[in-house]
């Protein structure tokens, strides 16, 4: 019995490590569905910032086909990394000195935000998947 328990405990950490790496694989196709429903009114389906609402805004919504991101919420000196985009989407741009029009999205799960970021990456010129 003691030996079995020891064997189980030895295997357990490996299982715990393996599960999150599978779950965190982001899915750009799922992200597109959420993006088109919630973000495209401003950012446009193409990501150019030319959605029906977005074309009228100052500052304009970021053009994702260029990818010139403005914020560095994680403060590591590099703007527009995945971690930065995730924080802007979760907390809104105003928290990082940007426009309140880029509102926080606390209702999206971490997985959904990861999927959206994967989709945003695919919108950059030359990287488009469709």
Contact set with ligand HEC (CB under 6 A): 38-39, 41-43, 53-54, 57, 59, 61-62, 69-71, 79-80, 84-85, 88-89, 93, 98-99, 101-102, 105, 116
Q: How far is CA 45 from the centre of its chain?
A: 16
Taking the complex as a whole, how short is the minimal distance between the CB of residue 125 and ligand HEC, in angstroms? 16
- How many C-beta atoms surround the C-beta of residue 91 within 10 A? 16
Residue among 28 and 116 whose Cβ is closer to ligand HEC? 116
Identify which of residues 46 and 99 has a Cβ nearer to ligand HEC in the complex. 99
Measured between alpha carbons, how far is 111 from 127 in angstroms, rounded to an integer? 22
How many Å separate Cα 42 from the centre of its chain?
16
- Tell the smallest beta-carbon distance from residue 13 to ligand HEC (Å): 35
Residues 6+ apart with CB under 8 A from 56: none
| CB of 8 or CB of 42, closer to ligand HEC | 42
Locus of tokens 């401003």: 42
Q: Smallest distance, Å, CB 21 to ligand HEC? A: 24
């Amino acid at each position: 019995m003691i030996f079995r328990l020891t064997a189980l405990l030895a295997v357990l950490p490996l299982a715990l490590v393996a599960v999150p790496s599978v779950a965190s694989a982001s899915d750009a196709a799922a992200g597109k569905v959420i993006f088109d429903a919630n973000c495209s009114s401003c950012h446009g389906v193409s990501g150019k910032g030319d959605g029906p609402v977005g074309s009228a805004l100052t500052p304009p919504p970021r053009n994702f086909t260029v990818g010139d991101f403005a914020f560095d919420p994680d403060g590591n000196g590099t703007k527009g990394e995945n971690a930065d985009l995730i924080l802007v989407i979760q907390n809104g741009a105003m928290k990082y000195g940007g426009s309140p029009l880029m509102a926080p999205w606390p209702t999206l799960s971490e997985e959904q935000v990861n999927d959206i970021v994967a989709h945003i990456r695919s919108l950059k010129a030359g990287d488009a998947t469709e």
